[in-house]
Amino acid sequence: MAVVLAVVLSGIGGRVSRDIGLAVCNVARAGGLVAGCEEHGPWPPPGPSPGPPVQPVTRPDPVCTADGSGGYHDLTVVVPAQVLNLRGSIRVFYTIGKVVAPGKRDRWVVSVGAFTEGGVQTPDLPLVSGMWLGGNVTGTQYYSFDNEQEARDFPRRYAEQRARQAVRYHPVVLPLLSVPVVGDWLSDLIGGHLPEADRTAVEMGPAGGLNPGLNIGAVDLSAASRGWSLLGVQHDRDGNWIVNMRDRVLSDPTLTVDLSKLPKQVTRRGAQAVLNELELLGMTHFGPHFEIPAKLRDYVNRSVANGVKLGATVELIAQNDYQYMLDSKGTPVRFTRQVTTSWTLRGRGNINLGGGGSKVKIPATGQIPIDGGRQVSTSSLDLSDPMHRRAATALFTAGVLQRVGAVGLSSHRQAQLVDSLFRTRGTMTRLTYDELVSGRSGGLENLVGKLGGAIRYDGENSRTTLTGAEIWQNGRGWVPWTDCHR
């Protein structure tokens, strides 16, 4: 599956690059920075501060996303080499969000997609393991539903139909679809039909990560971290285009205690005490005859001796998005900045299923949610106003050029101007959520002796609940956004 996705995404890479270049050029042309998109000279620096507006202020409608959920499955493969290891990964993901709008029915927006990453990874170093650098290509599709249950069932249905499409385009099956009568029957049997997406997005850019760690006796400290810096385009069914810049970083500071390094009597008694409590809990639910088998007790004792680790993880995420939207005619419509920060606290347990004497490690990890929170701050400007358009275009274009390495324009002054316009002439909202995340992972490590090599699986499920909504009013600051609570 990873190979198939990599081939598909690499195949569209050239087209996506052209789309991104054309869309960025249209942004610059709309803002008056270039005359055309076929042949143009060097990009000029931002001009002087614009004059007074020539039309009344128009503010974009705010978007309220209430409760939501999501999840992903991630498979990573590390192929050992003499100097730098090769690293590749594939992730499939989905999110579901309830969108509330005054005077309208609630709707649920579902995003489904996948990304693939490829790069090189260093061998393990004394204080850092798995430092890598490479690239990321992400594809996402967005759908909206009026029925909540239909929205929640859609990610499963989407995965099923994509699998059917893979069968449809198999080299053996594809020619049979052209055979009269048989082709129609086979097409109906295979299926693989999906509704038209509201929006389709493709992004690409550099990615990297590392995992610093420190061992102090029975205590392990680590902070696995990774980041992306992506540039891409979105296209909706109405013909509108959105040029998107996204920066995302995350880190998982983790503390675990290796029970196998504690005195054996302590770990054995602790494990038996936990099992005794579980046995009493089982008796209250299933009757006085409930009993944990002796073989299971022995297995727990052996597992603790092989290296059971208990501890906690705090996941920290920060994301910054800029979006420049143009309609089907290339006219600027809206400029949006969204800043998302989140944290989640989880209890975790690690166990090595490979056994104490095995060279190949088979780590397995489970994570249970404890607490967490998320804040999403969104600022938007209507670009029908020439002053808004010039300021937003200059800032966005400078960011794009810095990202692609074409030129190093300073955007600090433009950022201050746009921030001022957001407060006085735009729309600003701030949403706060409770967030709980559970996770699981497993894999195989040390597959090629001293060279290493690994196959790892990671998965997460999350749920967010809206706890606070505010909207900015010029002259009053942040005030409760009552229309968002429903």
Residue carrying the six token digits 């048989």 = 182
For the chain, residues with pLDDT lower than 50 are 1-15, 39-48, 53-54, 406
Residue carrying the six token digits 């493969």 = 77
CA distance 192 to 189: 9
Q: What angle do CA 452, 455, 458 make, to 5 degrees?
A: 130
- Answer yes or no: pTM beyond 0.85: no
Judged by DSSP in three states, 398 sits in: helix
CA distance 484 to 314: 29
Beta strands in 384-453 (DSSP E): 427-445
What's the token pair of residue 28?
């610059």
Query: Between the CA of residue 411 and those of 40, 175, 381, 400, what are the distances in Å?
Result: 22, 54, 18, 11
Q: What angle do CA 240, 246, 252 make, to 5 degrees?
A: 145
What's the token pair of residue 146?
């009026």
C-alpha 106, offset from chain centre = 24
Beta strands in 390-426 (DSSP E): none
Q: Tell me, what DSSP letter sits at residue 294?
A: H
Count CB-CB contacts under 10 A for residue 373: 16
Residues in the chain, total: 486
Q: What is the pLDDT of residue 430?
A: 97
Q: What is the pLDDT of residue 21?
A: 60
Render the burial of 44-78: b for 16+ CB within 10 Å, e for the rest: eebeeebeeeeeeeeebebbbbbebbbbbbbbbbb
CA atoms within 13 A on the CB side of 197: 15
CA distance 365 to 136: 26
CA distance 386 to 47: 13
CA distance 459 to 130: 19
CB of 102 closer than 8 Å to CB of 90? no
Q: What is the pLDDT of residue 228?
A: 94
Count CB-CB contacts under 10 A for residue 15: 10
Q: What is the pLDDT of residue 443?
A: 85
CB of 422 closer than 8 Å to CB of 268? no
Q: What is the pLDDT of residue 217?
A: 87
CA distance 116 to 441: 18
What's the token pair of residue 72?
């992903």
Tell me the pLDDT tens digit for each residue of 267-326.
777 777 878 888 888 888 788 888 888 888 887 777 776 678 889 999 999 999 999 999
Render the burial of 428-460: b for 16+ CB within 10 Å, e for the rest: bbbbebebbbbbebbbbbbbeeeebbbebebbb
CB of 16 closer than 8 Å to CB of 232? yes
Q: Based on C-alpha coordinates, what's the Rg of the chain?
A: 26
CA distance 56 to 409: 31
Tell me the pLDDT tens digit for each residue of 39-88.
434 434 444 455 554 456 788 889 999 999 999 999 999 998 878 899 99
Residue carrying the six token digits 């929640």 = 152
Q: Tell me, what DSSP letter sits at residue 150?
A: H
Judged by DSSP in three states, 350 sits in: strand
